[in-house]
């Protein structure tokens, strides 16, 4: 009779662990540290021209361009009440490439920057020189310490819209820091 009780107790324990999934049923599914009740908030941003950038941001832009030979490079620069985000795709074999930020979303203490790499179509005549596509956007500096994540998708080609490449990185940014350099 004792063996029956032990077997029943074991089945109960295994069933309890299986139902709970070794964690809380109400835990956040945001693996970057958000909470279940964090709401997504779309943030407004502005694409900046090089001529309008503060000198400090222009210098950081040059550092990012020099560091981004083979892939995505980025940095955040706090200047006044704005945070400037510099994204560089790295080296490309010809002209005609560009990067466009489509969306900036805040969820909890994470700001997600979603961008798209635009490649020239096969029919486009391009400059036959190595290029380094980049973009600079600005947004209001967050009120709290945040982590930035970056997701860059290659624009779907007209021939095969299902084929795309994604790059994703994440970095922390503290409000009291003047600049954060990420490569």
Note whether residue 28 is domain-resident: no
Note whether residue 23 is domain-resident: no
Note whether residue 35 is domain-resident: no
Residue 81 pLDDT greater than 80, yes or no: yes
Highest mean pLDDT pick, 14-23, 49-58, 171-180: 49-58
Note whether residue 33 is domain-resident: no
Tally the domains of the chain.
1
Note whether residue 122 is domain-resident: yes
Model confidence, pTM: 0.67
Distance CA 45, CA 17 (A): 45
In which domain, by residue range, is 165 found? 45-182
Query: Mean pLDDT throughout 93-105?
Result: 94
Predicted confidence band at 171 (pLDDT cuts at 50, 70, 90)? low
DSSP string computed for 73-120: EEEEEEETTEEEEEEE---BSSS--EEEEEEEEEETTEEEEEEEEEPP
In degrees, rounded to 5, the angle at the alpha carbon of residue 182 between the alpha carbons of residues 176 and 183 is 170
Q: Who wins on pLDDT, 139 or 32?
A: 139
């Amino acid at each position: 009779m004792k063996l029956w009780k032990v077997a029943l107790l074991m089945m109960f324990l295994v069933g309890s662990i299986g139902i709970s999934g070794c964690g809380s049923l109400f835990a956040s599914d945001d693996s970057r540290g958000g909470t279940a009740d964090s709401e997504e908030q779309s943030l407004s941003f502005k694409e900046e021209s090089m001529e309008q950038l503060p000198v400090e941001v222009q210098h950081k832009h040059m550092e990012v361009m020099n560091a981004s030979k083979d892939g995505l490079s980025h940095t955040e620069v706090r200047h006044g009440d704005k945070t400037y985000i510099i994204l560089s795709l790295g080296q490309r074999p010809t002209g005609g490439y560009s990067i466009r930020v489509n969306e900036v979303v805040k969820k909890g203490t994470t700001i997600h920057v979603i961008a798209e790499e635009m490649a020239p179509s096969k029919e486009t005549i391009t400059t036959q020189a190595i290029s380094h596509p980049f973009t600079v956007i600005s947004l209001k500096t967050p009120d709290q310490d945040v982590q930035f994540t970056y997701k860059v998708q290659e624009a779907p080609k007209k021939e095969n819209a299902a084929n795309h490449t994604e790059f994703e990185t994440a970095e922390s940014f503290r409000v009291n820091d003047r600049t954060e350099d990420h490569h």
